[in-house]
Amino acid sequence: MRIGDLTAATGASARSLRYYEEQGLLASERSPGGQRHYPESAVARVTLIQTLLAAGLSSSTIYDILPCITEKAIRTPWLAGRLRSELARVEDQISSLHRTRDILAGLVEQYAV
Amino acid sequence: MRIGDLTAATGASARSLRYYEEQGLLASERSPGGQRHYPESAVARVTLIQTLLAAGLSSSTIYDILPCITEKAIRTPWLAGRLRSELARVEDQISSLHRTRDILAGLVEQYAV
DNA sequence: CTAAAACCTGACACTGACGTCAAGGACAAG
DNA sequence: CTTGTCCTTGACGTCAGTGTCAGGTTTTAG
């Protein structure tokens, strides 16, 4: 598939897809004319990237952990620590969001009365 | 208290406090010489602002909803809708974070084996 | 009174994930 | 072959929250 098909399939803009490639998150083959071609699996990969980005992971963090999602063989102590610290960060963020949700929910409830 | 005391009490930088004021999130009295003075209640207010910012609310959104946190009398249909939509956004973000947490936790578990 | 510390405004810098525009090349359909 | 659509690279713009620096004023301690 070409880049237009991938944008249609994932909702990511062409700009974003090129950016992901620039950051090493997404690979592409090139046609003789230089145009990008993606395998079907790229759809899932882009979806995953979007999920992680939406969770506040930076592209460089995603760059670090993506390989160990797709190829399970890569296990280094450094990577394990990286994963754990990102997990901790995400859990912190979740509890922070819970606090905010409770604040907002309380307000909404007051309004409903 | 002066701005230095407030930074000490909240951890927010002086720059951030001035920014909050610029955005209408935080009020201050001025001394004859023009220096900011805050009431004790400013500590709680800044803490709240930081919580909401950390949850990804924009300063303009916080500007909208802050009055109805501190003064409960303000109830308009528009504001109620605003609150509900922000609540929905936060809850979406929480579930997105849960997905990411599950991904990371699964990886960490694989590594632990 | 004076020196030091704290504060002021204004402005520019930065980061990250894009949007957007320009100027041109690639490619399928007719 | 041509036309229209899709694609390319490169570069600059954006936004939000904050860092930081400059040059000047205020407040506090001694």
Residue A37 CB closer than 7 angstroms to strand D?
no
Q: How confident is the model at residue B59 (pLDDT cuts 50, 70, 90)?
A: very high
C-alpha span between B15 and B21 (Å, rounded) = 10
pLDDT at A70 over 90: no
Q: What residue type is A84 in one-letter code?
A: R
Q: How confident is the model at residue B72 (pLDDT cuts 50, 70, 90)?
A: low
| Contact between A49 and A42 (Cβ < 8 Å) | no
pLDDT at residue A112, as a whole number: 67
Nucleotide nearest to B4 (CA to C1'): C6
State the nearest residue by CA to the C1' of C16: A58
C-alpha span between B59 and B45 (Å, rounded) = 13
Q: What is the mean pLDDT of residues B13-28?
A: 96
Give the global pTM: 0.84
B100/A72 touch (CB, cutoff 8 Å), yes or no: no
Q: What is the mean pLDDT of residues A49-58?
A: 90
- pLDDT tens digits, one per residue of B74-100: 677 888 888 888 899 899 889 889 999
C-alpha span between B37 and B20 (Å, rounded) = 14
For B22, the token pair is: 């610029």
